[in-house]
Structure 1
Amino acid sequence: MPVVESRVTVPVPVEVAFAVSQTQGATRKRWDPFIRRQHLIDATVPAKGVRTYTVQRFGLAMESEYVSYNPPSNVGMKMTKGSWFFEKMGGGWRFTPVPDRPDHTLAVWRYNFTCRPAWLAPIAERIGTVVLQRDIDRRIRGFAAGCVDPVVLAAIDV
């Protein structure tokens, strides 16, 4: 199963970093270049078991479910419905204080996936790794920018 990972250190405490990562609506779109549209399904706040509908910037849609939600340290998700070429997809975001700088956070985002159909998976997964790595790198850079954006920071409740 291919895995892609990206990491960044941001100059905010772990509680703030986590809160930024869970913003919704216009605040989320301000920092997240991956999202065209996103909303929670039958919920008003994220939590384990809550589903999310996401349309990414190229128009591909996916429904996912939080399989873990542990503020301020981590969240995990799995795709429940998605694009025809993903057999499985999941991801997790971890937030840990930087040991010698407690006002800084190390964010590590990791995704895994498998592609279908099986006969195309070896090629599709190699291509998918490159494309998804580029997207996750771009997305985590946006997250880092959001962690220092006064508009984003004003929108969170920490």
Structure 2
Amino acid sequence: MPVVEASITVPVTPDLAFAVSQTTAPIRYRWDPFVRRQHFVDGATVPGKGVRTYTRSRHGLRMVSEYVSFVPPTHVGMTMVRGPWFFERFAGGWRFAPAAESGHTVATWRYSFRCRPAALRPLAHRIGVWVLGRDIRRRIAGYAAGCTDPVVLAAAREQLTDR
């Protein structure tokens, strides 16, 4: 399966970096250029393993995904439950590790996917790597901006105290 990945160092600790990544609407829309609409489904109100979310992207595509791992402050992983017809599989993972510089975090985001139909896979995978690569770079840059936005940081800190 093809994989796209992007990493960036942000000037916050891993626990706060993780909390920023898990902000929800409307705060999420301040930093995440990919998401146009997102909410929990099945009555969930907070993220966690087994929780599902609905996302509509800036492209207009819709996906329901499920958290398959949720381990603050180190990593989170999701897999597509329902989504665009051309994805046979789609998964994403975000990792957060202390950076060499004290109080900073290296955030690494990775997507893996498999397209369908099988006959078009070689071409579809090349296109997917290009499109998703561009999107993940834009998205992680927005995330890094969120890690310096006082409004986003205040909401993320509130999440930390609510745990």
Instruction: Confirm or deny a common fold (TM above 0.5).
Output: yes
| TM-score bracket relative to the smaller structure | over 0.9
Q: How does 1:62-101 map to 2 (within 5 A)?
A: 62-98=63-99, 100-101=100-101
Give the strand-richer structure, 1 or 2: 1
Distance 1:155 1:111 in 2: 26
SS at match of 1:26: coil
Distance 2:111 2:128 in 1: 11
Following superposition, the deviation at residue 58 of structure 1 comes to: 1.3
Q: Could you tell me which residue of structure 2 aligns to residue 36 of structure 1?
A: 36
Q: Could you tell me which residue of structure 2 aligns to residue 142 of structure 1?
A: 142
SS at match of 1:83: coil
Distance 1:11 1:70 in 2: 21
* 2:158 is aligned with 1:154: no
Following superposition, the deviation at residue 57 of structure 1 comes to: 0.3
Please, which runs of 5 or more residues in structure 2 have no aligned partner? none
Task: Compute the RMSD of aligned alpha carbons.
Answer: 0.6
Amino acid of the structure 2 residue aligned with 1:77: M
Q: Could you tell me which residue of structure 2 aligns to residue 46 of structure 1?
A: 47
Percent of aligned pairs with the same amino acid = 64
SS at match of 2:26: helix
Q: Could you tell me which residue of structure 2 aligns to residue 59 of structure 1?
A: 60
What TM-score, normalized to structure 2? 0.95
Amino acid of the structure 2 residue aligned with 1:25: A
SS at match of 2:29: helix
What TM-score, normalized to structure 1? 0.98
Distance 1:3 1:121 in 2: 14
Amino acid of the structure 1 residue aligned with 2:82: K
